[in-house]
Amino acid sequence: GKKMRTYLVTGGAGFIGSNYIHYMFETYGQDIHIINVDALTYAGNPENLKAVENYPNYTFIKEDIRNKEAVLEIFKKYDIDRVVHFAAESHVDRSILNPEVFVSTNVLGTLNLLTAAKTAWETEGGYKEGKRYLQVSTDEVYGSLEDGDTYFYETTPLDPHSPYSASKASADMLVKAYMDTFQFPANITRCSNNYGPFQFPEKLIPLMINNCLKGEKLPVYGDGKNVRDWLYVKDHAKAIDLVMEKGRLFEVYNVGGHNEKQNLEIISLMIETLQELLPEEDSRRAHINEGLIKFVADRKGHDRRYAIAPDKIRDEIGWEPETSFKDGIRLTIKWYLENNGWMERITSGEYQNYYKEMYR
Ligand code: NAD
Ligand code: TDX
């Protein structure tokens, strides 16, 4: 019979990676084999994959992509057809506190994967049939926009400002170098801010949900009017799959849905939706209101506005977001309310130290 297609997913125990793995099994069932390579840093949580961990066509490998030999070994052991590279240090505030690990994981880790895939896939005349690599990048590599109606296009020059976005831009440049120098079969996607289930509560939306439920202050950086372009994580997962299957090789595709919101708008919507979804008798309702908002010092180098022009992926591939913001936020808040234990387990321990360093 036909060989089962094998995916190497890196960082699959994190927020977007785990949502992508769930999406892929829902979409392809038994027809694919997914190998998830994840170092399980503070951001990696095997609990995110509990529903699939016993699937015969799912393999978990606890490994650090900074370990070059180990990455080469994985490509020797398995005949990998697709690489979807999520693994990264992903939080801007942490990159301001401790930039070094962002360079080692995001830049050198990416180089290790590129080298291993190239070595495994190379033939005399080019590359083995049907092999593809996808770099999961971010709109932050384009820098920052003024308030108004300008957008990031695939042709917008890279202009990163934070150590995080500089490391992601560097990784993108290495992928470009492999495409340009070696015709390495790759694509890059650059997505806007994601939200949804399994997002770690260092990021705006789950942090605000968690703090509301705990009756803690809601820390707003600066004037709260910075703009982010929000996309439901499942829509991102689908975009990645479609670019892999239908995208033109060597192309960059922006991913976003023209859903720009100021941070304060997001926080108000969270408060409103929590009030709506919590049962009448829930005692937490009483303290969830705008009075929790607390303006704090601005993030250093805080990018003002991100906004993606998604014309290319829509026109060439036919991708469009399927989840409205209102529905996505309801789904997300419902998920956090139903998975209180998940939040409790990840916020006990080390998270407390991070939170104190950041917000006290
Ligand atoms: P995350 O922090 O939730 O997950 C990152 C995962 O990578 C974790 O499971 C972690 O254990 C793993 N990891 C970290 N360092 C590793 C290493 N050295 N070796 C192996 N595994 C390692 O991140 P996320 O929000 O899911 O983001 C995933 C990817 O998508 C990142 O590349 C990020 O830059 C990109 N992205 C994120 C967003 C967003 O809004 N979250 C938007 C656009 C692009
Ligand atoms: O406590 C907070 N208060 C606050 O006002 C936090 C955590 C954030 N903010 C602001 C900063 C940003 O303007 O909210 C906005 C969103 O912040 P983050 O959730 O940290 O996301 P952002 O910095 O926009 O980066 C995210 O989107 C692009 C992801 O973390 C990146 O991995 C992705 O590449």
Query: Is 203 touching ligand 2 by the criterion CB < 6 Å?
Result: yes
330: helix, strand or coil: helix
Q: Residue ranges per domain, the chain? A: 5-195+232-259+304-322
User: For residue 299, which atom of ligand 2 is closest to its CA?
Assistant: 11
Domain at 5-195+232-259+304-322, CATH homologous superfamily:
NAD(P)-binding Rossmann-like Domain (3.40.50.720)
The pair phi, psi for residue 353, each rounded to 5°, is: -65, -45
Q: How much is the pLDDT for 50?
A: 97
pTM reported for the whole predicted model: 0.98
ipTM: 0.99
44 residue type, one letter: G
Give the separation between CA 29 and CA 31, rounded to whole angstroms: 6
User: For residue 199, which atom of ligand 1 is closest to its CA?
Assistant: 3
Give the separation between CA 278 and CA 54, rounded to whole angstroms: 34
Q: How much is the pLDDT for 265?
A: 98
| pLDDT one digit per residue (tens) for the chain, 360 residues | 578 999 999 999 999 999 999 999 999 999 999 999 999 999 999 999 999 999 999 999 999 999 999 999 999 999 999 999 999 999 999 999 999 999 999 999 999 999 999 999 999 999 999 999 999 999 999 999 999 999 999 999 999 999 999 999 999 999 999 999 999 999 999 999 999 999 999 999 999 999 999 999 999 999 999 999 999 999 999 999 999 999 999 999 999 999 999 999 999 999 999 999 999 999 999 999 999 999 999 999 999 999 999 999 999 999 999 999 999 999 999 999 999 999 999 999 889 999 999 997
CA of 136 to the centre of ligand 1 (A): 9
Query: Is 266 touching ligand 2 by the criterion CB < 6 Å?
Result: no
Q: How much is the pLDDT for 1?
A: 56
Give the separation between CA 153 and CA 151, rounded to whole angstroms: 6
- Longest CA–CA separation in the chain, Å: 69
Query: Is 38 touching ligand 1 by the criterion CB < 6 Å?
Result: yes
- Matching residue, tokens 């019979």: 1
